[in-house]
């Protein structure tokens, strides 16, 4: 999945819809459940149990699109002094069903979802521009072509992500990205009748 500022309008709308639905489920769950210190867990009404099921089904994709909106739900939390005062990193979205009175409030989950929703709403106009921009689509195609060798490596069992991020991998991606651009440039020159002139120009700088 791509960053929120690099997607077309329909993907922006899809993510917004999913985020708003998920936010509603989170509100429903916590409005219909309460923490029991005796059980050290939440007592859930039927509505909350149903909401929890839907939350778990949507949690992974929602977490991804929240991260891609630069609204990371990972926070550094300090426990009250009475509980030891220790600090820890908590992913309040993935760990929402493990929050206790000593952990962050579920309202912080809503805050992070609202930030992600705000990012996608603010980016809606830009996503429209990208959608109708042929140069953006051309760039997406070039990126896809450059990624193909690494996708193949992943299919046959190699660590494609590691290979793609390695210096040699970046070099290969850059070359594969530029080759179609250069080929298109030469095609345009040929159609305009300037290809031979361009070759003559290059011959002045390149050894024969």
pLDDT higher than threshold 90 for residue 10? yes
Asked which of 28-32, 38-42, 93-97 is least confident by mean pLDDT, the reply is 38-42
9-31 helix and 46-67 helix, angle to the nearest 10 degrees? 140
| Percent of the chain scoring above 90 in pLDDT | 41
- Return the pLDDT at 184: 72
Write out pLDDT tens, residues 70-127. Answer: 999 988 877 666 666 677 788 989 988 887 766 777 889 999 999 999 999 999 999 9
pLDDT higher than threshold 80 for residue 5? yes
Average pLDDT over residues 53-57: 96
More reliable by pLDDT, 26 or 38: 26
Q: The tokens 């992943």 sit on which residue?
A: 154
Nearest-CA neighbor of 112 among 77, 69, 78?
Answer: 69
Is 102 exposed, middle or buried (CB count within 10 Å of its CB: 0-12, 13-18, 19+)?
exposed
- Return the pLDDT at 83: 61
**pTM, 2 dp:** 0.75
- In the chain, where are the structural domains located? 4-126, 134-203
């Amino acid at each position: 999945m791509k960053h929120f500022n690099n997607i077309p309008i329909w993907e922006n709308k899809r993510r917004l819809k999913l985020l708003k639905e998920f936010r509603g489920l989170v509100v429903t769950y916590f409005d219909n459940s309460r923490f029991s210190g005796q059980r050290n867990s939440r007592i859930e009404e039927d509505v909350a149990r149903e909401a929890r099921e839907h939350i778990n089904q949507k949690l992974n994709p929602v977490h991804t699109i929240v991260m891609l909106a630069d609204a990371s739900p990972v926070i550094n939390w300090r426990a009250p002094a009475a509980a030891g005062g220790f600090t820890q990193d908590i992913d309040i979205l993935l760990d929402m069903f493990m929050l206790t009175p000593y952990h962050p409030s579920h309202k912080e989950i809503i805050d992070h979802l609202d930030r992600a929703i705000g990012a996608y709403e603010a980016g809606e106009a830009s996503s429209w521009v990208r959608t109708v921009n042929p140069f953006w689509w051309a760039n997406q195609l070039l990126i896809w072509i450059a990624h193909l060798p690494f996708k193949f490596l992943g299919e046959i069992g190699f660590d494609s992500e590691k290979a793609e991020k390695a210096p040699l991998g970046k070099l290969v991606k850059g070359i594969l990205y530029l080759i179609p651009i250069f080929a298109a440039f030469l095609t345009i020159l040929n159609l305009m009748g300037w290809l031979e002139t361009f070759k003559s120009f290059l011959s002045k700088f390149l050894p024969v």
